[in-house]
Amino acid sequence: MKFFRRLHSLWSLLPVAFFLVIWEISARTLVSNQALFPPFSSVMGEFFILVKNGVLLENLGRSLLRVLVGFLAGSLAGLTVGILFGTKKFLYRSFHPIFSLLYPVPVLGWIPVFMLWFGIGEMLPIALLFVCAFFPIYYNTETGIRSVNREFVHAARTLGAGDFQILTTVLLPLALPNIFTGLRLESGMAWRTTMAAEMIAIPTGIGALLMKAENLIRMDIVIVCLIVLSIMGFAFERFFLYLEKKTIGKWA
Amino acid sequence: MPKVTLKGISNYILKDLSLEVHDGEFLVLLGPNGAGKSTLLNAIAGLTGYRGAILFDDKPVDALPASKRRIGYLFQHLALFPHMDVKGNIGYGLRVRGEKNPAQIEGRIDELMTMMQIGHLAARYPKNLSGGEKQRVALARVLAASPDVLLMDEPLSSLDLRAAKRLRLEIRHIQRSLGITAIYVTHNFAEATEMADRIAVIEQGRLMQIGSPAELLFDRHDDHAGGFIGRPNIFTCGSYQVIENGLAAAECGRMKIIVPHDGKPVERIAIAPEHVYVSTEEPLGPHVNRFDGTIREMRRGEACVRASIEVCGQLLEAELAPEIADMMNLSEGSRVHIILKLRWLQPLESKGAGNDHL
């Protein structure tokens, strides 16, 4: 069984390998200007150079820090407000309409606002990531809590649980599937948002490196940046998927 | 265990409802959907607002929140926490009520799992339990914290006939052995008569009648109560013969009726009009409890059509949905086939008058 499972996972890598081979061959045989369409081997060569001289890791570190701080702050705030609005009808009725109006504004639409408020600096991507994470996590938490079957709450209450115990032992655990969906989807979005902010306004990070490479017509570095972005978004999503399986996989 | 007294309970459904449940009694609230039975349970539990007074052993509990009333509530859909395994579910009440000693919690959980015969399910999650297992776990959970009053809201409605019957007996046995005061909601007349010390018939938020199952069947003095319990058809049996598989064949006039048999004498058989199956077509399936009859009278109500059907010289009441009666084009004089479904036949041993519809 284990052998077949391994074979299956290797089989799923086959299309990727096929794509890379086609890329390599076509770049070497069909394209006259390899600076605009470098073969995969050149991209990987540049990747190792950027790793070796520390440029890639330094920029990745900066982007990662921004994502972690902004995403974490936005998620925590979204979770807190989601819990409050999910449990207190008065708060929900009073403030939910405001959030409903702000939620559809695209994250990148906030760039001019935050540039004027915070200037060009570390606060800009962090504020953008905060907004990027806050609204979806808030919505998922609030919806998750409100959609918990009232019979569970009544059961907990008649078994002797108080409000706080009901929140921590019933509402939040049962809202976890919704919350994880929000976290998983937004973790990928967080990388895209950081990238956009760095490309437009910040001189450091993977997005900035990508813009510099574009100015120097270094397509190999541009592709390295895109691959790193893709891997980071994928890794974040898988991390939350793993966390989800670990925490709610047994019962959800 | 306390007696439960309700004084003038009113809210958006209930209308000035008063009754007393005796210490250790098993009271069944019987009534149609929307009558206010579950709302009354919720009021007793403190889960819904009401005017009036609820007293446990003459002490008002109106000011107490649900978490402090010391009641056990078995919900219709059981409400087992899906994120906790069986042990977690059973121990929940003990933990939230502040029991700190893990050994004591474990001991109580083990005791209840043994009593409910669910020890082998300890580590399972509710999604991996069968319907009957879920019922047992839910019952163990409400009993774990030793409640003073046990409330049950149609907890067996999702089970098959045999499993429901077995659990009914177990619930009754446990309730008796613990001496716990219990209030059980159902709209199933047969279930009510099988379990209850007394039955309270509730309709449109009002208490229509209260009494023992026999009193309700034979001494119906309230038209409304009779209306709901359907003025059950009651057949007097001349003799009966035990056959295999827990069944008996009873001779009731010219009718031979197969009924569930639990060892007690079968002297009368009751079946509610809504459980009498009527068809103009020859029904499919085994020829058990099937009879031919003629409609003698039809009365059309708002929600149902009542038909008096002459079967083997006896008059039988049947209740049909108006659209079904129209579809079959039923009228007085129509020849029909009827089936008395085994599931709904209730053998009785009390003595009394003959078939009320004769």
The answer to which of A114-118, B127-131, B304-308, B345-349 has the lowest mean pLDDT is B345-349
Binary contact (B142, A160; C-beta < 8 A) = no
What number of other Cβ atoms are within 10 A of residue B165's Cβ?
Answer: 19
Q: Is residue A18 part of a domain?
A: no
pLDDT tier for residue B10 given thresholds of 50, 70 and 90: very high
Contacts 24+ apart (CB under 8 A), A84-87: A85/A138, A85/A142, A86/A141, A86/A142, A86/A143, A86/A144, A86/A145, A86/A146, A86/A171, A86/A175, A87/A145, A87/A163, A87/A167, A87/A171
**What are the start-end ranges of the E strands in B31-90?**
51-56, 59-60, 71-74
Question: Is pLDDT of B352 > 50?
Answer: no
Residues 6+ apart with CB under 8 A from B59: none
Distance from CA of A190 to the nearest CA of B (A): 30
Query: For residue A168, what pLDDT is reported?
Result: 95
* Distance between CA atoms of residues A150 and B76, nearest Å: 12
Q: How confident is the model at residue B349 (pLDDT cuts 50, 70, 90)?
A: low
- Indicate whether A134 belongs to any domain: yes
Query: What CA–CA distance (Å, rounded) separates B114 from B123?
Result: 14
pLDDT score recorded for residue B326: 86
* Whether the predicted pLDDT of A53 surpasses 90: yes
Tell me, yes or no, whether A203 lies in a domain. Answer: yes
Does A202 reside within a domain?
A: yes
Is A219 part of a structural domain of the chain?
A: yes
Residues of chain A positioned with their CB less than 8 A from the CB of B67 = 157-162
> Above 60 in pLDDT, residue B357?
no
pLDDT at B218: 61
C-alpha B55/C-alpha B65 separation (Å) is 14
Domains contained in chain A, number: 1
In the prediction, which pLDDT does B228 show?
54
Question: What CATH number corresponds to the domain at position A115?
Answer: 1.10.3720.10
Q: How many CB atoms lie within 10 A of CB A41?
A: 13
Tell me the C-alpha distance between A81 and A91, whole Å: 9
Residue B230 has pLDDT above 60, yes or no: no
Asked if B125 and A151 come within 8 Å (Cβ–Cβ), the reply is no
Indicate the average pLDDT of chain A: 91
Query: CA-CA-CA-CA torsion for B252, B258, B262, B268, nearest 10 degrees?
Result: -20
Q: Is B205 left (phi over 0), alpha (psi -120 to 50) or beta?
A: left
- Closest residue in A to B44 (Cα–Cα): A158
Nearest to B79 among A151, A165, A173 (CB): A151
Top residue of B78, B83, B109 to mutate, by most chain A CBs within 10 Å, is B83
Most confident of A118-122, A211-215, B167-171, B214-218: A211-215
- Chain B nearest-CA distance from A158, in A, is 5
Q: Is the pLDDT of residue B225 over 60?
A: no
B40 contacts A126 by C-beta, under 8 angstroms: no
How far apart are alpha carbons B78 and B40 in whole angstroms? 18
- Among B68, B79, B83, the residue with its CB nearest the CB of A155 is B79
Mean pLDDT (whole number) for A187-214: 90
| Cβ pair A201, A120 in contact under 8 A | yes
Q: Give the pairing type, strands B26-30 and B198-203.
A: parallel
Average pLDDT, chain B: 86
Beta pairing, strands B268-271 & B276-279:
unpaired
Q: What is the CA radius of gyration of chain B?
A: 22
Q: Would A243 be classed as within a structural domain? A: yes
Residue B121 pLDDT exceeds 90 = yes
Distance CA B258, CA B266 (A): 11
Q: What confidence score (pLDDT) does residue B337 get?
A: 92
For residue A38, pLDDT over 60 is answered with: yes
Whether ipTM tops 0.90, in short, is no
pLDDT digits (tens, 9 = 90+) for B51-77: 999 999 999 999 999 999 999 999 989
| pLDDT over 50 (residue B8) | yes
Kindly state the average pLDDT of the residues A114-134: 91
As a whole number of angstroms, the distance between CA B271 and CA B309 comes to: 14
Quote the minimal CA–CA distance from A148 to chain B in Å.
11
Q: How far apart are CA B147 and CA A230, in angstroms?
A: 57
Q: Answer yes or no: are the C-beta atoms of B214 and B48 closer than 8 Å.
A: no
Residues of A within 8 A of B41 (CB-CB) are none
Per DSSP, the three-state class of A169 is helix
Q: What pLDDT does A132 receive? A: 92
Whether A37 maps to a domain, the answer reads: no
Rounded distance between C-alpha atoms, residue B40 and residue B75, angstroms: 13
Model confidence over A165-175: pLDDT tens digits? 999 999 999 99
**Domain range enclosing A63:** 58-247
**Chain B: residue whose CA lies nearest to A150:** B79
Question: Phi and psi for B318 in degrees, rounded to 5?
Answer: -130, 150
Tokens describing residue A64: 């990662």
Q: How far apart are the first and last CA of chain B?
A: 44
| Distance (Å, whole) CA B169 – CA A163 | 36
Distance CA B85, CA B80 (A): 9
Q: Taking the model in full, what pTM does it have?
A: 0.75
In chain B, how many H helices and how many E strands? Answer: 9, 21
Cβ–Cβ below 8 Å for B65 and A157 = yes
Residue A237 lies in a domain: yes
- Residue B90: closest CA among chain A residues belongs to which residue? A159
Per-residue pLDDT for B219 more than 70? no
Q: Which pLDDT tens digit goes with each residue over A62-86?
A: 999 999 999 999 999 999 999 999 9
